[in-house]
Amino acid sequence: MLRDKFYNFLSKCATTSIGWWILGIAAMLTIISAFLMPRLPILTTREGMVDSRIPQQKRYLEFSSDFGAQNQLIIILEGDPAATRSAATDVANELMRDPNWVKNVFYRIDLQKMKQSGLYYLPLDGLKKLDDGLRKYQPLLDRIFRDGTWAGVLTAAETEAAKLSQTAFADKKTVKDGFEIVDRFLAEWQKFLETPETAKLDLGERTLGEMAAQFSDSRTDEQGFLIGDQGRMKILFVQQSRSIDDTEYVVPLMKYARRTTARVLQKHPGVTAGFTGWPVSIEEEIGLIKGDIAMVAIIAPFVIFLIVWAAARSFHRTLLMFVPVALSVVWNFGVTYFTIGHLNYLTSGFVGILFGLGIDYGVVFIRRFDEEIAKGRTPAQATHNTLTNVGQSVGSGAAATITAFFAIGFTRQPAFSDLGIVAGTGILCALLASFFVHPALVAHFPPKANARDMERLAES
């Protein structure tokens, strides 16, 4: 039968000089895969984990393409209010010098534009409320302007304002702030009347700044800077040039932002910087994932090695069981590099799972090999019989597992599709190591027989 011929071929490869070639090729593949491991990117992108053909995701991607990434980098400068103004301006200008990383930095309201089109800054609901307010107070406005003289206007305005300030529902702070703005307006109007040659009424940057602060609930200062902590903080919203959350772009972006900000702040002693926002979250997540992979890659094989060692009661046997699955894990990184080309949240944790699944093949092979040795077979004969009897069971079980994982690879969600491919190729690597590397190791480095085990196996 073709199946018997296949296992006879594997046995011949393992027990002859070809076995040394197999071990050499396995070592070479392991070296290549180990070289590629650190070059395999780990993606934390949310966009890449959802099928772009889903209508909701498609609309979101189109919106991001038109208007830029929604989750911007936020830089917070803290220090003396005057010093942070200068530092915020310098940091924003430096960041925008390289268009490959930063598209725009929003940190200050342009008061000159507010003079020309201030109402455009109001949301639609705000404009509707303003319109409703004018209609509601139309009788009051008629009474104020009925006299037709400035004296009558001021008298009527003063009378109505006094009535408003005495109502039970009046916000004292709002009334006070309103009077201060009116006083400033009248002062500017007085200057305009005293100098008729002035072409227009100029409220000045300070007055506009105070009005902007009133409209924005004190989130800007008198010069239009976005502030916090009563002006000690200046807030900068940094829009990245590319509307993606790919780690291969975001991590270098964060390095550029941190490096540039640190260089600028050297000229502004006393000003400190903090970073927050989605890019910072991605930067931290990639660090956590790499740390978790390293931890799993150390703890999982170590614990599995101890368990197998305790069961086999032989360091030599444990190595023969463990080495092939360890090689298959390394190979899987190399295969992943040439197939999907990256890891993600789900696939990055498959290292521990592959160790747990792949070690089964080695345990079964060694136990069957010991049974053959206990019957008086030579290492070559034991290897042949083991492959012939156990190979079919191992191959069938592995094929079923591989098929199940590859079926996941056909899903429409990229995150789960990647998991299916990585898991399927990982089990395939473990199967190849069990069929080629394991027999060659056992045939050329046969484990020493344990007298007690041999007696027990012979009796059974």
**Do both 218 and 350 map to the same domain?**
no
> Is 308 within a domain?
no
Domain residues for the domain of 244 are 68-277
Query: pLDDT at position 111, please?
Result: 62
Query: pLDDT at position 456, please?
Result: 56
418, 346 Cβ separation under 8 angstroms: yes
> Is 289 within a domain?
no
**Do both 74 and 160 map to the same domain?**
yes
> Is 306 within a domain?
no
Distance CA 66, CA 62 (A): 6
Quote the number of domains for the chain: 2
What residues contact 296, with CB distance under 8 A and at least 6 apart? Answer: 349, 351, 352
> Is 291 within a domain?
no
Of 220, 250, 277, which one is at a domain's C-terminal end?
277
**Do both 210 and 101 map to the same domain?**
yes
**Do both 341 and 260 map to the same domain?**
no
DSSP category for residue 436: I
**Do both 271 and 380 map to the same domain?**
no
**Do both 130 and 198 map to the same domain?**
yes
Query: pLDDT at position 455, please?
Result: 56
**Do both 328 and 450 map to the same domain?**
yes
pTM score: 0.62
What's the pLDDT tens digit per position in 371-413?
Answer: 888 777 888 888 888 888 888 888 888 899 999 999 988 887 7
Of 258, 277, 296, which one is at a domain's C-terminal end?
277
> Is 299 within a domain?
no
Query: pLDDT at position 268, please?
Result: 92
Query: pLDDT at position 333, please?
Result: 92
Write out residues in the chain with pLDDT < 70, as ranges.
Answer: 1, 44-52, 56-57, 60-61, 63-71, 110-122, 137, 140-141, 143-218, 449-460
Cα distances from 304 to residues 26, 296, 336, 358, 430, in angstroms, run 22, 12, 24, 11, 16
**Do both 239 and 349 map to the same domain?**
no
**Do both 236 and 318 map to the same domain?**
no
Query: pLDDT at position 177, please?
Result: 57
Query: pLDDT at position 25, please?
Result: 92
**Do both 238 and 348 map to the same domain?**
no
**Do both 14 and 74 map to the same domain?**
no
> Is 368 within a domain?
yes
Cα dihedral angle (433, 438, 443, 449), rounded to 10 degrees?
180
**Do both 219 and 337 map to the same domain?**
no
Of 249, 277, 305, which one is at a domain's C-terminal end?
277
Query: pLDDT at position 274, please?
Result: 92
> Is 304 within a domain?
no
Closest CA to 410 of 400, 396, 424, 397: 424
Query: pLDDT at position 215, please?
Result: 46
> Is 406 within a domain?
yes
Specify the CATH number for the domain of residue 28.
1.20.1640.10
